[in-house]
Structure 1
Amino acid sequence: MTAATVLVVALGEVRSPVLESVTLARTLGTPVLLSLQPLSEADTDALGRAGVARALVADLGEARHAPAVAGRAVATAAEATGATVVLLPTSFVAKEAAAHAAFLLDAGLLVDVATLRLESGELVGGKRVFAGTWETECAVTSPVAVATVRANAIVAADAPEAVTTAVEPLSVDATLPRGLVLDEHEEHPRAEGRPALAEAAVVVAGGRGTEGDFAAVEELADALGAAIGTTRDCVDEGWQPHDAQIGQTGVTIAPRLYIGAGISGAPHHHGGMQASGTIVAVNVDPDAPLVQIADLAVIGDLQEILPAAAQAIREHRES
Structure 2
Amino acid sequence: MASGLAALLDDVAAIARLAAASLDDVSAAAGKTSMKAAGVVVDDAAVTPTYVTGFSPERELPMIWRIALGSLRNKLLLLLPAALLLSAFLPAAITPLLMLGGAFLCFEGAEKVVELLGGHHGTEEAPETGDPAHLEQAKVSGAIRTDLILSGEIMAISLAEVAGEPLAMQALVLAAVGLVVTVGVYGVVALIVKLDDIGLHLARRQPAVVRRFGRGLVKMMPGILGTLETVGMAAMLWVGGGIILHGLEGTPLAALPHAVHDMAAAVSHASVVLWTINALLSAVFGFLAGLVIVGIVHVIGMMRGRH
Q: TM-score, normalised by structure 1?
A: 0.21
Which structure would you say has the larger RCO, counting Cα contacts within 8 Å and 6 or more residues apart?
Answer: 2
Q: TM-score, normalised by structure 2?
A: 0.22
- Between Structure 1 and Structure 2, whose CA radius of gyration is higher? 2
Question: Which structure's residues are more often helix, by fraction?
Answer: 2
Question: Which structure's residues are more often strand, by fraction?
Answer: 1
